[in-house]
Amino acid sequence: MKVVISLGGSIISPDEPDYIKNVASLIKKASENLAIYVVVGGGKLARSYINVGRKLGASEEYLDAIGISATRMNAMLLNIFFNKTIPSSIEEACKISPPVIMGGTVPGHSTDAVGAMLAREIRADRFIIATDVDGIYDKDPKLHKDAKKFDKISIKELRRMAGDEWERAGKSAVVDAIACRIIEESKIKTCVVNGKNLRELENAIYGKKFNGTLVEIE
């Protein structure tokens, strides 16, 4: 079975070496039975450089390129435990034997979108979006104590929440618009889970019951 994991930059960063070591161990273990593909986000590292670049007048495409570099740097930290080639495109990723560790690819696509594209290309059995909250909420649970978590959500409702277009470099969203469109069009079995909780992430990887949100494809 093939599993693609979009490992958000909100949970993997140079500030969390122990987490990187532990999630690498989980991926190695899962790779004994499954073909695992991991797309790593840029998170705080990307946003800090993008914010400076924006103040200096860089174009959105240039800022995206900065963000992509950050995702690959984070991927390199995870790759210390795998020593694999880090692909720079979906096509290259498909030619590498799993486990595959990679970052972003081209401007205009978040790493969630890259993960969805990769899942579509390899016909993945599962696509897991690992973030720093335990699922999809009707509003940001970090800002609103009354935010409601969805155990399940239809892809149509998720697309309504996400909007239609990629907005700008460094913008954070639970699932961005391009990823949502690909998930719906390709009917990719998708779930959102708190990637910091390695037990829940492991359950999602193996297709077991997990605490998170299942995206229902109609």
Average pLDDT over residues 97-104: 96
Task: Tell me the CA distances in angstroms from 171 to 29, 48, 114, one per residue in order.
Answer: 32, 12, 15
Task: Tell me the CA distances in angstroms from 202 to 64, 172, 180, 196, one per residue in order.
Answer: 31, 24, 23, 11
pLDDT digits (tens, 9 = 90+) for 136-188: 998 888 888 888 899 999 999 998 887 665 555 444 456 888 999 999 999 99
- Domain boundaries along the sequence of the chain: 2-216
pTM of the model: 0.91
pLDDT digits (tens, 9 = 90+) for 105-117: 988 888 999 999 9
**3-state per-residue secondary structure call for the chain:** CEEEEEECCCCCCCCCHHHHHHHHHHHHHHCCCCEEEEEECCHHHHHHHHHHHHHCCCCHHHHHHHHHHHHHHHHHHHHCCCCCCCCCCHHHHHCCCCCEEECCCCCCCCHHHHHHHHHHHHCCCEEEEEECCCCEECCCCCCCCCCCEECEEEHHHHHHHHCCCCCCCCCCCCCCHHHHHHHHHHCCCEEEEECCCHHHHHHHHCCCCCCEEEEECC
Picking from 39, 29, 74, the residue whose alpha carbon sits closest to that of residue 202 is 29
What is the gyration radius of the CA atoms in the chain, in angstroms? 16
Neighbouring C-beta atoms of residue 14, cutoff 10 Å: 12
Backbone φ/ψ region at 170: left (φ over 0), alpha (ψ -120 to 50), beta = left
Q: What is the CATH number of domain 2-216?
A: 3.40.1160.10
Q: What is the predicted pLDDT for the residue at 150?
A: 92
In which band, very low, low, confident or very high, does the pLDDT at 75 lie, cut at 50, 70 and 90?
very high
Which residues are paired to 212 by β-bridges? 193
pLDDT at 15 over 90: no
Picking from 110, 77, 104, the residue whose alpha carbon sits closest to that of residue 89 is 104
